[in-house]
Structure 1
Amino acid sequence: MLKKRISWLLLAAVLTAAQTVFAQKKPNVIVILADDLGYADLGCYGSEIPTPNLDELARNGVRLTNFYNTARCCPTRAALLTGVYSHQAGIGHMMDDKGADHPAYRGQLNHNSVTIAEVMKSAGYFTAMTGKWHVGHQHGVYPSNRGFDRSLHAPAGGFYYANGNNAKLYLNGQEIPNDSDKLPKDWYSTDLWTDYGLRFIDEAVAEKKPFMLYLAHNAPHFPLQAPEADIARFRGKYLKGWEKLRQERYEKQIKLGLVDPSWKLPPINPNVKKWDSLSDAEKKRYDDMMAIYAAVIYRLDKSIGDLVAGLKKRGVFDNTVILFVSDNGGNAEPGIEGRYEGDQPGTAQSTVFLGQGWAEAACTPFWAYKHHTHEGGISSPGIISWPAGIPAARNGKFERQPAHIIDIMATLVDLGSAKYPSTYAGNTIQPLEGASLKPAFTGKPVNRKNPIFWEHEGNRAIRDGKWKLVAEKTEKWQLYDVEKDRTELYDQFDKQPEIAKKLVPKYEEWYKRVGAEDYDKTFKWFYDYDKAKQQAGSGK
């Protein structure tokens, strides 16, 4: 009897040890979200801005050419965190609460959705978050009460320095002074998020747990601010103007193999002033605005390099999946002039917005920008690094299957052998909307069962295979074959009525299902598609 008991104990010990080894083999995961970064703003996506660290991740990983976001900050964050459409998570627009009669517009994550932290924590992961939260802080929704073991978050961004106008930090749910001795001295937010991310990773390593870090940068969102030494390296390099910069980025994208040469570059927005019509003073002002923007991106890339170096130093880089994406397209707010305010633009007390001219270059080669559901507003760089899991033969390759921010949850569930729940904390949880992108890491098909949908401020779209149906709030539906015409110049709505008749009802069904509604605000800087396309000869 004693021998039998010892045998069972030995078996239990072996099984426990095996389970521990298996748990340790689970990959670590870092999801990095940039803010207002355009499709063409990284070197490996066509930019002239030096981004060597992100380029290196792309060179030794996979680049997604068709990665999509929701066209806006808060909805993208909600969809990333929950794996359902932002309306289903309660953030169909931004942070305003429209009341119980409008469940899709409560301005905070609801409890019929779970976060990536809540799900990965249940699979044995140490969960951490640093950076911009912006999914309901003012309503009491913090990372610390939505599954994150550790967090250093800003409620909604809007700053880079400790003495910035909107600078507020919360450490594990508690407000912390900006000059706390727990923080690096004279911190810059882009570096701070990485610094604390690595501190949290140290805790995970000490606990011998796989970790999931959500690193949500506020760069390169306005108010654009960066150290003067970094701005100086770019000042004067943009006196060539936005038309030439856009053309150069387009040509580089073709050379890289990112863009099909048959996709013609759309005409520049006719509302944007021609560079040659500007005065020398105006050119100098706009050059400085773009130099500040470039410096912010340069510093973002440097922080990625610091993160990778930190992972390598800790011996965890090879088995860490890094997913890098952006929350929307380049930002044209508040219009043509942008903003250039303060005694020394680029410093902590200044306010700089990129403006519409440079946003054209940021979104190369696509139509439109942030807010809009044409490709410029919803397309993002997408970089995947995982040395231990992506075959060397895939290094530097492009993955052209469509992917969407709702796919992040499903991907993490797959990577972490986690279980997505049907109930959580006594609440019924909505089914996942996204598909795991893990098969795409090795070049296999993604098992996507449904089309991808968008709605923001009445701007709407659906992509089903190669077909995309899209319209701004004030427009009639347009239909594009985005495999042949991703720059959306050749409307097929009247030429392919059978396709249009299938897609419109699918969109209407989804629109009602998620509770989306029209948004009653228009923008003076609204992209004048009809006028632009007429100038282009309707794409002919």
Structure 2
Amino acid sequence: MKSSLQYKILLLISLSFSLNAISQKKIDKLPNVVFILADDVGYADLGIDGGTVPTPNIDSLAMQGMRFTDAHSPAALCAPSRFSLLTGSYPYRNGRPGGSWDVNNSSGFSFNGDRTKAGRHITVGEIMQDAGYKTAFFGKMHLGGNVYNEKGEVIRQKNKLNTMDYSRGVDDALSNHGFDYWLGLLSGIQHEPYAYFENGKYRPADLSSPATNESTRLLKNGFYRVSDNGLSEIVEAGNVPARGDVNYDSSQAGIILTNGAVEFIDHHVKENEDKGKDQPFLLYFASQAIHVPHTPPFDFDGDPETIDEQVYGKTGAVTSDMLYELDLQVGKIIEKLKEEGILENTLIIFTSDNGALWPRVTHYGDPSHDNNGPLRDYKASIYEGGHRVPFIAKWGDGTEAGSVIKPGSVSDQLIVGHDWVATMYELTQQNMEEDQAKDSASLLPILTGKQPENEPLHEFVLYQAGFAFDGAIREGDLVLMVDRENQATELYDLSTDLGQENNLIDKPEYGETVKRLKAKFLKYNDHDIETIEPRTTTAFKVN
């Protein structure tokens, strides 16, 4: 990738002119970009989409920007989606369609390149670095990497992660893939290691503790009293005791990550002022909410003695408390951008990694809260409920005259979450390499109102269930399901059957359509180790 400082300066100068053409509103410089990824938030969870849990901060983004009604996560489960949301390519593109999950797996960006040739997957962080951005990541990862035992051997067995030498940290992580700074949980709040890592190094929850194994302990499933601001819970340690920070507290994860994001913005703005620079930033914020364990803090400001912002018990149930906390996280980031005077020139994108939580793990305070609306099924499913998610974009001051994205606008375009990657290519006017972001189409023409609603962004999209056992192809309003044996099993017309109750697969009039869609699905989703499937989108090129 290009790294010349002179090139970056010239690129920024040229972009200040090219951006004027994006909207009638004059844009003097590249915007900051904040990408917010929720965990397990469903199609109808947000207030703006009919949910009963208060989400005023997220709702405000929609009211001041654009809301999409037909947006989909790259997969119906978190780990595969997270690879795609950083690369713009479907999960199967690296030969690991089920995702990288924990750090007993190698990095999803380095793994197998494009399977049959050398190479790796360029992340959106690298794209933005090449455009002169400072880049930062906070939150849940599920992206793989290399961790080591005390002998310096790479650990590749999940049940051996508790032998990890924390003093060695993790490598082939986000520092190696486009992020100047990162702070996160390598496997989320539900998987080992239960600890924070910063720029590849173990960062104890108590910063005065040594960043070594001395600051860790073995943990089993159950509740742990760690602080006075909530209860920590371990829910997926498995049969073998897991290792984590002695002060690890799942109830404080959202506070730590949000404070880290706010501190990054604060530091970046001050650095710009001190050095007389005007460098934009990319902030990728991958919240832990609302994934299990559902352990909201008592007070979001961190002091249970004086409850300034109650979370636990706010809504009447822990799942909806977590959704409420997610909104507080978003609100705190928005408030910081506003405080620094940079909110109106920040493009904010909000979406979720997969569809709504299953009913068996949801405990919403209001029994009328429906997290999935009319959609069939939930997270991990190939049906619409598994992957149709909220997607909101805001860029401007909330007024029509002062906004690039028209406030209160709604788009029914079929999009995929990883389309934001191609959007960054177009925003920064960089050519996309043919073997990168292979399934991503730029949203910029839609966001700026230049592409009519009746002109589809995608000719077709592919759906993936949780672990890629089942898939589907969507073309227009028709969705064809294909099972793990590559058999076409179900066909639905979403224009008349959003709940997917009427299977059309055996209707004679759809016979040729089924054959054609199945052939197209297999062409692009073959998984044959000797095959490199073609792009599903056209690579963005600067005119």
Q: Under a length normalisation based on structure 1, what TM-score does the superposition of the two structures give?
A: 0.69
Q: CA RMSD in A?
A: 3.7
* Structure 2 counterpart of 1:197, from 261, 267, 270: 261
Q: How does 1:432-451 map to 2 (within 5 A)?
A: 432-443=438-449, 444-445=451-452, 448=457, 450-451=459-460
For residue 331 of structure 2, give the secondary structure of its aligned residue in structure 1.
helix
Quote the residue 2:197 is aligned against. Answer: 170
For residue 32 of structure 1, give the secondary structure of its aligned residue in structure 2.
strand
Give the Cα–Cα distance (whole angstroms) in 1 for the partners of residues 415 and 530 of structure 2: 21
Q: How does 1:41-440 map to 2 (within 5 A)?
A: 41-69=45-73, 70-95=75-100, 111-138=119-146, 140-158=171-189, 167-180=194-207, 188-205=252-269, 206-207=271-272, 208-228=278-298, 229-235=310-316, 291-332=317-358, 337-338=360-361, 361-387=370-396, 391=400, 394-421=406-433, 429-430=435-436, 432-440=438-446
Give the Cα–Cα distance (whole angstroms) in 2 for the partners of residues 516 and 197 of structure 1: 42
Contact 1:331 / 1:359 at 8 angstroms: preserved in 2? no
Give the Cα–Cα distance (whole angstroms) in 2 for the partners of residues 377 and 516 of structure 1: 30
Quote the residue 1:249 is aligned against. Answer: none
Contact 1:60 / 1:396 at 8 angstroms: preserved in 2? yes
Shift of 1:196: 1.5
Aligned partner letter, 1:118: E
The alpha-carbon distance between structure 1 residues 67 and 449, as it changes in their structure 2 partners (threshold 3 A), is closer
The alpha-carbon distance between structure 1 residues 494 and 17, as it changes in their structure 2 partners (threshold 3 A), is closer
Contact 1:169 / 1:178 at 8 angstroms: preserved in 2? yes
Contact 1:109 / 1:136 at 8 angstroms: preserved in 2? no
For residue 322 of structure 1, give the secondary structure of its aligned residue in structure 2.
strand
Contact 1:95 / 1:108 at 8 angstroms: preserved in 2? no
1:340-359 CA deviation, whole Å, 9 max, x = no partner? xxxxxxxxxxxxx659x999
Shift of 1:303: 1.1
For residue 370 of structure 2, give the secondary structure of its aligned residue in structure 1.
helix
Aligned length: 417
Contact 1:108 / 1:136 at 8 angstroms: preserved in 2? no
Give the Cα–Cα distance (whole angstroms) in 2 for the partners of residues 90 and 135 of structure 1: 14
Instruction: Confirm whether residue 466 of structure 1 aligns to residue 504 of structure 2.
Output: no
Q: Under a length normalisation based on structure 2, what TM-score does the superposition of the two structures give?
A: 0.69
The alpha-carbon distance between structure 1 residues 313 and 90, as it changes in their structure 2 partners (threshold 3 A), is farther
Give the Cα–Cα distance (whole angstroms) in 2 for the partners of residues 232 and 194 of structure 1: 21
Give the Cα–Cα distance (whole angstroms) in 2 for the partners of residues 41 and 55 of structure 1: 11
Quote the residue 1:344 is aligned against. Answer: none
Contact 1:95 / 1:106 at 8 angstroms: preserved in 2? no
Give the Cα–Cα distance (whole angstroms) in 2 for the partners of residues 359 and 94 of structure 1: 34
Instruction: Confirm whether residue 25 of structure 1 aligns to residue 29 of structure 2.
Output: yes
Aligned partner letter, 1:154: L
Unaligned runs of 5+ in 1: 1-13, 236-290, 339-352, 423-428, 518-540
Quote the residue 1:490 is aligned against. Answer: 502
The structure with the greater share of residues assigned to helix is: 1
The alpha-carbon distance between structure 1 residues 20 and 188, as it changes in their structure 2 partners (threshold 3 A), is same
Unaligned runs of 5+ in 2: 1-8, 20-27, 148-170, 210-226, 230-250, 273-277, 299-309, 532-543
Instruction: Confirm whether residue 480 of structure 1 aligns to residue 514 of structure 2.
Output: no
Quote the residue 2:525 is aligned against. Answer: 511
Contact 1:61 / 1:390 at 8 angstroms: preserved in 2? no
The alpha-carbon distance between structure 1 residues 62 and 96, as it changes in their structure 2 partners (threshold 3 A), is closer
Quote the residue 1:284 is aligned against. Answer: none
Shift of 1:470: 2.1
Give the Cα–Cα distance (whole angstroms) in 1 for the partners of residues 141 and 192 of structure 2: 17
Give the Cα–Cα distance (whole angstroms) in 2 for the partners of residues 77 and 359 of structure 1: 31
Give the Cα–Cα distance (whole angstroms) in 1 for the partners of residues 462 and 12 of structure 2: 45
Q: Percent identity?
A: 32
For residue 516 of structure 2, give the secondary structure of its aligned residue in structure 1.
helix
Instruction: Confirm whether residue 502 of structure 1 aligns to residue 505 of structure 2.
Output: no
Does 195-204 or 78-87 show the bigger shift? 195-204
Give the Cα–Cα distance (whole angstroms) in 2 for the partners of residues 326 and 514 of structure 1: 30
For residue 293 of structure 1, give the secondary structure of its aligned residue in structure 2.
helix
Aligned partner letter, 1:413: Y
The alpha-carbon distance between structure 1 residues 117 and 358, as it changes in their structure 2 partners (threshold 3 A), is farther
The alpha-carbon distance between structure 1 residues 500 and 313, as it changes in their structure 2 partners (threshold 3 A), is same
The alpha-carbon distance between structure 1 residues 406 and 18, as it changes in their structure 2 partners (threshold 3 A), is closer
Shift of 1:506: 0.4
Aligned partner letter, 2:99: M
Contact 1:436 / 1:447 at 8 angstroms: preserved in 2? no
For residue 259 of structure 2, give the secondary structure of its aligned residue in structure 1.
helix
Contact 1:87 / 1:105 at 8 angstroms: preserved in 2? no
Shift of 1:130: 0.4
Aligned partner letter, 1:481: D
Contact 1:179 / 1:185 at 8 angstroms: preserved in 2? no
1:93-141 CA deviation, whole Å, 9 max, x = no partner? 03379x99xx999599994210000111011111110001111135643
Contact 1:360 / 1:368 at 8 angstroms: preserved in 2? no
Does 413-422 or 214-223 show the bigger shift? 413-422
Aligned partner letter, 2:185: A
